[in-house]
Structures are given as structure tokens and as C-alpha cells.
Amino acid sequence: MRNAPSILAPLMVLVACNAPEFHSGKPLRERVVNVYSHRHYESDQQIFDGFTKRTGIHVNLVMADDDEILTRLQQEGANSPCDLLITSDAGRLGLAKRRDLLRPIHDSLLEAVIPSHLRDADGNWFGLTMRARVFAYDKRTVDPSHLRTYADLTKPEWKGQVLVRTSEHVYNQSLLAAMIAHEGRDSALAWAKGIVANLAREPKGSDTDQLLAIGEGIGSVAIVNSYYIGKLMKNTDPARDPARAAIGVVFPDLDGHGTHVNISGAGVARHAEHMPEAVALLEYLVSDEAQALFAEGNEEYPVKAGVPIARELAAFGTLTPDTLDLQALATYNAEAVKLFDAAGWH
Ligand SMILES: [Fe+2]
């Protein structure tokens, strides 16, 4: 503990105040935090282990899909064991806030580290990492100077070339929600229609599947989250060599605001029983140590200034993130779903 970063100082005080009682050398009461998480990455266990090592607080993890998690929280009500909710999308955190599933936290450390547009103004949720929704293109056939903006991809020159997953996925819904927030409903609908007109195939599969499809020559531009590209570049599976060799990246601009970003973020549950532990975990998740693990282990952009991004992503250039208040992703989610339907993007 002596070498722990100063960021964890308040947390160590907590540990000292609530030191477990010992009997025959064993703690009678273990300090725990119960986490419901939509994140499904191996590197997260390393992060939770790091937290336990620093604080002695054990992390009980329940992993599930975002919608399942929200439904479960709602059904469990006051009996929910959940202390901290982690999702991979700001839209769902906004929804959790609206359903009164979260508890506002005012924490000067979190407020100092996390830029204001990446956290809820009322303290219900906090962004931990950013992911940019970018274009991956086939270097063998594409001139990236033709792909400066999201709107560029709706031009006729990309007919039969665009790869993207279904509109059911929240990453696409949040991108369209951001467009509605900036440009209005009509412009967002026109964009969705333009993409549908240029599809290489019916939307299907994951973001990684779109990248592999570029390697196979099925299409030449894919709309994907940045961390999947970083992970592909790090992957050593020879079956993925064609995609790895073919892919270049552009950071498209959204109406002069920069590239659309979403967050993976967290909020303390309304009925959290282990609130100090949940806040301690939140603080740890924005420490230099955890932010570096998010960046290196899962190719996400740290929210904390000064923490380096992964080498694989840095090689593709600089992200200029849109600073839209991410509450808008929840505000316009339902509208985005309707527009996808109207555009025929299934
Ligand atoms: Fe994902």
C-alpha cells in the first residue's frame, strides 16, 4: 500500500476506518462490491484484481447484456444486490437514470478527472473510457480523402461497398442519436437511407465481422468501433491476416463537431448497500493504473488526460472526439430506432 498512487488516498482511509474484524487470523466480514456489467472483456478481470489488491475489497461480478441488466435491476427493486452498474453505452446509462435505477454521486476526484461531457451532470453516471465510431476501409481500393465525413459514405460512389451491423445494436443507435442531436431528424434519416442504399450486404454480424469482410473483399468501408480495430491489429490468428493487412482507418467528422464517441461507463445503483466500496471502485477505474489497462488491454480511449492510448490505435492517427453531452444519446435513442425503421436499416 505504501507505493499506492496518491489518487487512492481517500480510499485507503476508508479501508482503515472499516478494517475487517479478525478472528483466528481470518476476516469475519469481507468487504465487497457487487457489480453488474455489460462489459465482456478478459482484461477487465485484471482491472478488478488490481482494485482488490489495492483496497482489499472483493468484486462480485455479474455479466449480462445491457437490457437484461436494466430489467433485472428494475425487477429486483430495493432488494437488488447491485452496487455498481457498468455498461458499454451512454444511452443505457441515461435510460437507467430515467428509470431511477441510479443514485447521484458527488465526488470531486471523479469530477476532476472525467470531462464534463462524458458524465451525467447530476452525478448518476460516469464515463470510464471512450470508443469512437469510425470508418475502416480497404487500403487496396479506397482513397481515404473521399471519406472525410459520415455523410461522405452516403454518396453514390460507395454503392454496394458499405459494411455495418444491424440497427438493433446500440452503437448504431447512439451514432444516429448524435446525428439527430446535431443536425436534426431529417438529416439523420437521410443519412440512414443513404447508408442503406450503399450496403454491400444485409446488415449482420458484429463489428469484427465487418472488418473480416473487408479482408474478404465483400465490401470496402465498414462502420465500426475503434477498439475492435485495435484488437484485430493485436490478434495473431493467421486467418485474420487478410483483414489486418487491408485495413486503414479514418476518423469521420460529424457536422464539424469531430468523430462520434460513446463511452463505457458506470453508475452507483439506487439501492447500493456497499456505497463506499462502489465509489472506491469508480475512483480506481479512473486511476492511471486502471485507465492504462483499459487502453492497453482493450484498446479503448482513456477518459483521463495524460494516459497514453494503445500503440495499435495511435498508428491510425488522432481522434478528435465530438464533445456532445452524451445524455443526448439517451434522449434521442427512441427516435433513432424509429428512423432506422423508416430507412429500412434492419
Ligand atoms: Fe462491443
Ligand 1 centroid to residue 29 C-alpha, Å: 36
- The residues facing 301 across adjacent strands are 130
**How many A from CA of 25 to the centre of ligand 1?**
43
Measured CA to CA, the distance from residue 212 to residue 232 in angstroms comes to 9
CA of 44 relative to ligand 1 center, distance in Å: 13
Per-residue pLDDT at 4 exceeds 50: no
Average pLDDT score over residue span 114-128: 97
CA distance 216 to 243: 7
| CA dihedral angle for residue 86, residue 92, residue 93, residue 96, rounded to 10 degrees | -110
- How far does CA 284 lie from the centroid of its chain? 17
Query: Where, residue-wise, is CATH 3.40.190.10 in the chain?
Result: 6-130+263-309, 131-260+317-343
Torsion of CA 96, 335, 128, 182, to 10 degrees: -140
Residue 211: HSE in the Cβ half-sphere, 13 Å Cα cutoff: 26
State in Å: Cα 206 to ligand 1 middle: 8
| Structural class in CATH, domain 6-130+263-309 | alpha beta
* Predicted confidence (pLDDT) at residue 9 exceeds the cutoff of 60: no
Q: Once rounded to an integer, what is the mean pLDDT over residues 211-239?
A: 97
Q: How many residues does the chain have?
A: 346
**89 alpha carbon – ligand 1 mean position (Å):** 9
Q: Is residue 166 scored above 80 in pLDDT?
A: yes
> In this predicted structure, what is the pLDDT of residue 40?
81
> Rounded to the nearest whole angstrom, what is the distance from the C-alpha of residue 127 to the centroid of ligand 1?
15
Mean pLDDT of 193-215: 98
d(CA 12, CA 331): 38
Which residues lie below 8 Å from residue 9, measured CB to CB, with a gap of 6+?
A: none
Tell how far the Cα of 9 is from the centroid of ligand 1, in angstroms.
Answer: 33
Nearest residue to 223 via CA among 238, 236, 213:
213
Q: Tell me, which fold does domain 131-260+317-343 have in CATH? A: D-Maltodextrin-Binding Protein; domain 2 (3.40.190)
Sign of CA dihedral 43, 306, 102, 13: positive
16 pLDDT more than 60: no
C-alpha of 135 from chain center: 17
pTM for the whole thing?
0.89
Q: Amino acid letter at 327?
A: Q
